[in-house]
Amino acid sequence: MNMKKILTWAGVAFLLFFLFSAPDQASNVVNGILGSLRGAAEAVITFMQNLFTS
């Protein structure tokens, strides 16, 4: 097996362990990531609107 596959499976195993051992914290992490992505998308939309309406 190459290193990339080993690290990928180790990452998946860690995520599953984190999900099952601390579901409340895992949901908070996911909500934080999704909130950040939403904020970034809104910032890009605002930028594009200002760029083309000015």
18 close to 26: Cβ distance less than 8 angstroms: yes
Which residue stretches of the chain have pLDDT < 70? Answer: 1, 54
DSSP state of 38: H
pLDDT of residue 53: 87
Residue recorded with tokens 């605002």: 46
**pLDDT value for 3:** 92
pLDDT attached to residue 1: 66
In this prediction the pTM is 0.64
